[in-house]
Amino acid sequence: MRAADPGVRRLAVLGSPIEHSRSPDLHRAAYGVLDLPWDYGRREVPSGALAVFFGGLDASWRGLSLTMPLKREVLPMLAARSELVEISGSANTVLLGPDGPQGFNTDVTGIVGALGDHGVSDVDTVHVIGTGNTAASAFLAASRLGASRVLISGRSLDGIAALERLGDRLGVHTEWRLYGSHVPVRSDLVINTLPGDVDPEDVPDADLGEVLMEVPYDPWPTPRAARWVERDGTVVSGLEMLLHQAIAQVRIFTTGEEGGELDHEDAVIEAMRESVGLKLED
């Protein structure tokens, strides 16, 4: 039997469902440019199975990307958490090593970076649709962009209350509405965190704004994105967010720290963009 190459490190994106994830395309492109013999795949891990998966990891594993429904489930398994993980209560990135699993949140960076590519760097009022894991990251991104007011649309009073507490911590005025209330809202930016096939019937009357950040990207376009394009609004796709959060993950996995700089970073980012068919607008 051929011995395993000691230089090969293993990484994967985990979640359920996971077959649609473009994370392997992004990461493989990056490690190809960096000439790293790293193997990045995808693993179907439903809620309740993460602890078992962790128990089967060996020293060859370098990192994990987490998506639904694992971003909160992972928290008790982490030996260390970044400040953003502590604030958001959500981790989408796990660095594995001798000091134990370290958790990071690169979703916030992903949202801010994707919006920045479209010239959105300063907002006042933001409408966040949804109250799950990504909604907290959207709220934090809104705060980073200077928002003084965030409106939350959701169906979970507990989820709304958690985001209100986050707003209090950040010093951001928070208002909320339940789906079905038909309260129209105008905002500088709408960030939708619901799955692409979920479209509450009252939201079309309430999601008025200048820019839409649509976190889901498969299938594309979502009904909301299609409506936005029809009225010549600016649409930022979740695939663009995925790119920017993956760039931050590659920095963590290769340098061992948050915000580390990559070798040949421009070439890495260009290859990652090409791997999923994204081009910067002129």
Q: Is residue 35 part of a domain?
A: yes
Q: Is residue 169 part of a domain?
A: yes
Q: Is residue 136 part of a domain?
A: yes
pTM score over 0.85: yes
pLDDT band at 102 (very low <50, low <70, confident <90, very high): very high
Do 177 and 83 belong together in one domain? no
Do 88 and 194 belong together in one domain? no
pLDDT above 60: residue 202: no
Do 114 and 234 belong together in one domain? yes
**With the C-alpha atoms ordered 31, 36, 42, 45, is the resulting torsion angle positive or negative?**
negative
Do 81 and 48 belong together in one domain? yes
For residue 83, give its domain range. 10-105+246-275
Nearest to 42 by CA among 78, 72, 69, 17: 17
Neighbours of 204 (CB within 10 A): 12
Do 34 and 98 belong together in one domain? yes
110-124, 161-175, 187-201: which range is least confident on average?
Answer: 187-201
**With the C-alpha atoms ordered 209, 173, 143, 201, is the resulting torsion angle positive or negative?**
negative
What confidence score (pLDDT) does residue 181 get? 72
Do 235 and 256 belong together in one domain? no
Do 206 and 252 belong together in one domain? no
pLDDT band at 2 (very low <50, low <70, confident <90, very high): very low
Do 116 and 153 belong together in one domain? yes
What confidence score (pLDDT) does residue 3 get? 34
Neighbours of 3 (CB within 10 A): 5
The count of structural domains within the chain is 2
Q: Is residue 3 part of a domain?
A: no
The mean pLDDT value for 223-237 works out to: 88
Q: Is residue 1 part of a domain?
A: no
pLDDT above 70: residue 196: no
Do 206 and 264 belong together in one domain? no
Torsion angle, alpha carbons of 220, 225, 230, 235, to 10:
-110
